[in-house]
Structure 1
Amino acid sequence: MSQKVITPEITRPPVPPFTEETARAKVQAAEDSWNSRDPKKVALAYTVDTIWRNRNQFINGRVEVEAFLTAKWRKELDYKLKKELWSYTKNRIAVKFFYEWHDTQGQWYRSYGNELWQFALNGQMQRREASINDLLIEAADRQLV
């Protein structure tokens, strides 16, 4: 997939090509953004025509990303996420992550997964592939408080 050149006023640093330091910063920025649980803010990190696979859902474009995240955080209450850099190349980053949340009945979950990211030259994410599994947990077993 070719990289798109986007105007500098919407650059999302750090930008590719990544070093270990800038890849770690990108992962931390993503963690911080997702932990805001603000769909509009999070969606701005993605290109207008971003392509996602999230579990068994296929999401196309920033508008669909925002709608997906709005629905996600209506269901996944008190969501808290931790991401860790797995590897990186010029414009790609792989992460492992887990997050905890509860449903409207108070059942807690820990969701584990891996993501593959591909970035445009301006640092916005063009592609996101996420594989995620959920584990029921007791509130007392939470790790992200």
Structure 2
Amino acid sequence: MRRFVGLQRRQWVVGALVLATVGAWAQPDGPIVEVWKDPQCGCCKDWVAHMEKAGFVVRVHETGNVGARKRLGIPDKLGSCHTASVGGYALEGHVPARDVQRLLKEKPRAVGLTVPGMPVGSPGMDGPAYGNRLVPHDVLLVQADGRSTVYQSYR
């Protein structure tokens, strides 16, 4: 009986060590981005791939984004097809990963970033399917009062 108890204890300790090791391996490499989008939206899926390629870990909620946009404080007039959250900031639309990285580094007092609408040439709205075109557009920094300023321009 004593040998049996010792074996169980040893198995438990080994199991706990294995779980701890697996847990350490499973830690994300970059900040976690939560995304709310329509399940049918292909450009949103392409934006998610853009963010993952840049090192972000992305969790997608296929529930639509209107509620998330409102909850995170992005005015409807600055809306787009998907809404995200990362590091305490809101992201609306096709915001480039490099601008998100800059936001997380600079940590301005703001609600977050938006690329209103769905401009061709923005991440997820780019590539051969869009004729490799770039429609000039701005990434806006959104303040708590709903005002916005240009954070980055793409021309």
Q: State which structure, 1 or 2, has the greater radius of gyration over its C-alpha atoms.
A: 2
Same fold (TM over 0.5): no
Alignment TM-score, normalising by the size of structure 1: 0.27
Greater helix fraction, Structure 1 or Structure 2: 2
Which structure has more RCO (C-alpha within 8 Å, separation ≥ 6)? 1
Alignment TM-score, normalising by the size of structure 2: 0.26
